[in-house]
Structure 1
Amino acid sequence: MKKTITITTAALTAVALTFALLAPKLLGFSVTQLGAAVRVATSMGAKLACSGYFISGPDKNRILDDLASYSPANRLLDLHYGDNRVTAELLGLGHASASYRDGLGCTLDIGDTSVLDRVRLAPLTSNGEEWPQGETASHINVDLQKRVETTLSRDNAAGLDTRALLVVQDGVIAAEAYAPGIDAQTPLLGWSMGKSVTAIMQGRLETLGLADSTVKPVFAEWKSDERARIALDDLLHMSSGLDFDETYAPGSDATEMLFNAHSASDIALVRPATYTPGEHFSYSSGTTNLIARWIHEHLGGDVQASLDFLRQELLQPLNMAHTVFEMDPSGVFVGSSYLYASARDWARLGLLMLNRGQWEGAQLLSEDWVARATAPNTSANEPRYGYQFWLNSGGEELRYPQLPADAYFMLGNRKQVVMISPSTNTVVVRLGWSAGSYPTGENFAGLLPQPDVASD
């Protein structure tokens, strides 16, 4: 027989007080941030659990471990997995839910989400042809495969939690390895690597003659103030001058944007300008979501049109059948953060850039756009950033001294990496969940083509 447990108001109050007292030392936020912290914990829990369960696979223990890596408070979450929905509760103090839709992934249930229910999507297709056209990988380099497997094994023995490691050399998959429970078709969260994909969407629009990155103002809401000087090019370079708090703490711009807003881009849209455009680099997820909003508006402000564009102009041509780009509750892509793709699909994006925008005879991105996307920006404080890509060179020193100077990267939280190395004709993909540092330079250098050693 099931026991019924009654929680009194006094008990809840005691829990709340205990939670608040423990927060500064154990959980990383102050008593005054308790309400915001509960909102973040429950919303993050519902969102990541929903996407992790329905997109990446139903490993509930891994999902909870992933959440706890951000805060031990998340181990107190009570997660309920239902039919296409996950709810999260925290000690009776807060509640949030997220819903899954085929082809769209998961979205927090904030406000009116009915626009997402009206979307109709045909399944993306793949085939048995050789990668990248299909899913067959028959050009494995035995020596490199051993190095990849050794690297993944060493990472995980050290607690770095590498889940996928893949190397493309000369246009083919030369080696790949996966952690238990993950395979070549498992979509994994790239976090901020989605920023690079948002830029690629803008680049595709520009290549089709449907966009101009120099036009000002970017939004009608900015036409009458200092933000009228901001061009899309400035947003792409993270040098718009907008004041956006990227701190991931309860109540910040970034957490409100991802976990409490009906429209993620609304948060950055109303922020004031504090620097002259182009002069100061400031990493901002809000900036990327403004680009996503601009793309959405440029495509008519229609959810179906935005999804059709992504799928018809990028995912299907690139044979990316294991990718989901999630939207906010208003129906705009969360370009900063919520793209799930298999390691092979992330590698396809890297190969597109490596090939200077060409794919199977078609110029999906103009060579001029790729050149601009991978060139340093004009800011005084951090020029090693292109159009939502991190550059190895362009400043006083290399970001990763062990790697080629011309290498550039998609980078995401928990050390997600896609490296594009033109001089070695290589793409390396690393997906995982490292809460601390990761030896990207050292590990990737060991996976690049090795110089021939002359025999005596």
Structure 2
Amino acid sequence: MKSTIKILLGTVVALALAVTLLAPPLLGFSITQLGSAVRVATGMGAKLACSGRYVSGFTPAGIVEDLASYSPANRLLNLDYDDDARRVTADLIGLGEVSARYRKGLGCALEIGDTTPLDQVAVTPVEVDGEPWPKGSSAPSIDAELQQRLDAILAADNAAGLETRALLVIQDGALVAESYADGITPQTPLLGWSMGKSLTAMLQGRLEALGQGDRQAGALFAEWRDDPRREITLEQLLQMSSGLAFDETYAPGSDATHMLFSAQSASDVALASPPAHAPGSHFSYSSGTTNLIARWLHQQLGSDVQASVDFFQRELLQPLGMANTVFEVDPSGIFVGSSYIYASARDWARLGQLMLNGGELNGQRLLSEDWVARASMPNGSDNEPRYGYQFWLNSGADVLRYPELPADAYFMQGNRKQVVMMAPSTNTVIVRLGWSAGSYPVGQNFAELLPPVGQAVTRN
């Protein structure tokens, strides 16, 4: 008996030692981070599987591959799909369990705390007719030669394992080419990750156009009014120069992963961030900052989920004809502006065209020309000026971000190499959606899709 116990103890010790040594290379985290890693894996698994299945319409097998691109540990997840309740439960070998639930029009939210108020929110679908894009759903202006080039790029991307899912080109205000991977259509809502930051900024711009919200105002939150953070302005949040300390590392235990995968209120995480720099002096990319903007918007709209959803629908989606877009909220009912916006390639392009047109589309002015100019202007930080109001700029420093592309180009960008480029000098919008774990040749590929140098640019 004693020898059996010794053998069992020896086996346990050996397994523990093996896990300790092998976890970093095989699972993507240290054994000392196991608790946080379980929370991240189950939260990410439940949330992305729920949205992947019920928003984008992906297969369970495809969802597992997407999750595994972040960490091999995600292959250990058991994902249980309850199609009747539209709920996904993620379990990691019995170490932890998290669920996320889909609601029509709201997408998926993790089931953390009391989420029953979300059940009362009504979302009216956006209807579009058969008029040409951007007002409607038809595309009568396809350029056959450009379409061939686009198809070739998508095929080459995917032969190289880049997982490009949608490519689309808008030239002079017309949809001239679009190409999709198998299983993806012009109506498929795809996750933009941090491209949602740009949309969140545009919601602030719309509120400003309606006469609400001074970009230079401070004391944005009651929690800051008695400390130095009261000096932070809305514009500094927009330009990622608030000076707040926020850990953007996407690893177990960081601010970013806690915010997205285990917090009941995403914006609470950044709201508690201490100051690290003087406001306006230092650029620091922070998803938490964007969720503070989303929280501020929520407050301006009465701190009411239905009011926030109605504003988004009425002031952006409906006038733009964005019928295939879902902006997800956190369990507390506030938009996760940093990360959780699903939209079709055509809808992402509508946002790009709105910016390219100086804030007007489909005969309606939604943003002021002044706001669009400020949004695409370098910030005044001491370390990275090539960032506007939640948009990445090609110029603004000694070197271009993408030397192959026009200096005046600017971008919405998101994880897994989501990109929407607006190039005013060529009057072009290009959209790329996919799931690239590594680099993607944005400059090279997009340059092939621009009009020839010297070609006349038509302004609509």
Q: TM-score, normalised by structure 1?
A: 0.95
* Cα distance in structure 1, aligned partners of 2:365 and 2:276: 38
Secondary structure in 1 aligned to 2:319? coil
Secondary structure in 2 aligned to 1:37? helix
- Once superposed, which parts of structure 1, at least 4 consecutive aligned residues long, lie more than 6 Å away? 10-17
Q: Do 1:16 and 1:93's aligned partners in 2 also have CA atoms closer than 8 Å?
A: no
Structure 1 residue 17 displacement after superposition: 7.0
Equivalent position of 2:290 in the other structure? 288
> Mean alpha-carbon deviation: is it higher for 174-183 or for 442-451?
442-451
* Cα distance in structure 1, aligned partners of 2:286 and 2:36: 21
Which residue identity does 2:115 align to in structure 1? T
Q: Say if 2:71 is the partner of 1:71.
A: yes
Which residue identity does 1:399 align to in structure 2? R
Q: Alignment RMSD, CA only?
A: 1.8
Structure 1 residue 210 displacement after superposition: 1.2
Q: Do 1:12 and 1:92's aligned partners in 2 also have CA atoms closer than 8 Å?
A: no
Q: Say if 2:299 is the partner of 1:297.
A: yes
Secondary structure in 2 aligned to 1:56? coil
Q: Do 1:198 and 1:335's aligned partners in 2 also have CA atoms closer than 8 Å?
A: yes
* Cα distance in structure 2, aligned partners of 1:19 and 1:125: 53
* Cα distance in structure 1, aligned partners of 2:11 and 2:59: 32
Q: How does 1:240-389 map to 2 (within 5 A)?
A: 240-389=242-391
* Cα distance in structure 1, aligned partners of 2:353 and 2:53: 29
Secondary structure in 1 aligned to 2:229? helix
Equivalent position of 1:185 in the other structure? 187
Q: Say if 2:205 is the partner of 1:203.
A: yes
Equivalent position of 1:5 in the other structure? none
Gaps of 5+ in 2: 1-9, 456-460
Q: Do 2:270 and 2:292's aligned partners in 1 also have CA atoms closer than 8 Å?
A: yes
* Cα distance in structure 1, aligned partners of 2:29 and 2:52: 26
* Cα distance in structure 1, aligned partners of 2:12 and 2:370: 60
Q: Which of 407, 410, 421 is the matching residue for 1:408? A: 410
The change in CA–CA distance for 1:299 and 1:256 in structure 2 (over 3 A counts) is same
* Cα distance in structure 2, aligned partners of 1:149 and 1:441: 17
Q: Do 2:197 and 2:290's aligned partners in 1 also have CA atoms closer than 8 Å?
A: yes
* Cα distance in structure 1, aligned partners of 2:294 and 2:221: 12
Equivalent position of 1:6 in the other structure? none
* Cα distance in structure 1, aligned partners of 2:339 and 2:187: 20
The change in CA–CA distance for 1:178 and 1:223 in structure 2 (over 3 A counts) is same
* Cα distance in structure 2, aligned partners of 1:336 and 1:201: 13
Q: Which of 98, 101, 110 is the matching residue for 1:99? A: 101
Which residue identity does 1:283 align to in structure 2? Y
> Mean alpha-carbon deviation: is it higher for 115-124 or for 80-89?
115-124
Which residue identity does 2:74 align to in structure 1? N
* Cα distance in structure 2, aligned partners of 1:71 and 1:56: 21
The change in CA–CA distance for 1:356 and 1:13 in structure 2 (over 3 A counts) is farther
Equivalent position of 2:7 in the other structure? none
Q: Deviations over 1:383-429 (max 9, x none)?
A: 00000000000011100000000000000000000000000000000
Q: Do 1:415 and 1:433's aligned partners in 2 also have CA atoms closer than 8 Å?
A: yes
* Cα distance in structure 1, aligned partners of 2:18 and 2:67: 21
Q: Say if 2:398 is the partner of 1:396.
A: yes
Q: Do 1:15 and 1:91's aligned partners in 2 also have CA atoms closer than 8 Å?
A: no
Which residue identity does 1:28 align to in structure 2? G
The change in CA–CA distance for 1:11 and 1:95 in structure 2 (over 3 A counts) is farther
Structure 1 residue 361 displacement after superposition: 2.5
Q: Do 1:235 and 1:287's aligned partners in 2 also have CA atoms closer than 8 Å?
A: yes
Gaps of 5+ in 1: 1-9
* Cα distance in structure 2, aligned partners of 1:159 and 1:268: 35
Structure 1 residue 20 displacement after superposition: 4.5
Secondary structure in 1 aligned to 2:425? helix
Q: Say if 2:123 is the partner of 1:121.
A: yes
Q: Say if 2:52 is the partner of 1:52.
A: yes
Equivalent position of 2:27 in the other structure? 27
Which residue identity does 1:257 align to in structure 2? M
Equivalent position of 1:7 in the other structure? none
Q: Do 2:379 and 2:385's aligned partners in 1 also have CA atoms closer than 8 Å?
A: yes
Which residue identity does 2:33 align to in structure 1? Q
* Cα distance in structure 1, aligned partners of 2:242 and 2:454: 46
Secondary structure in 2 aligned to 1:173? strand
Secondary structure in 2 aligned to 1:166? strand
Q: How high is the sequence identity, in percent, across the aligned residues?
A: 68
* Cα distance in structure 2, aligned partners of 1:398 and 1:74: 37
Structure 1 residue 452 displacement after superposition: 6.9
* Cα distance in structure 2, aligned partners of 1:395 and 1:130: 39
Q: Do 2:319 and 2:364's aligned partners in 1 also have CA atoms closer than 8 Å?
A: no
Structure 1 residue 141 displacement after superposition: 0.6
The change in CA–CA distance for 1:231 and 1:349 in structure 2 (over 3 A counts) is same
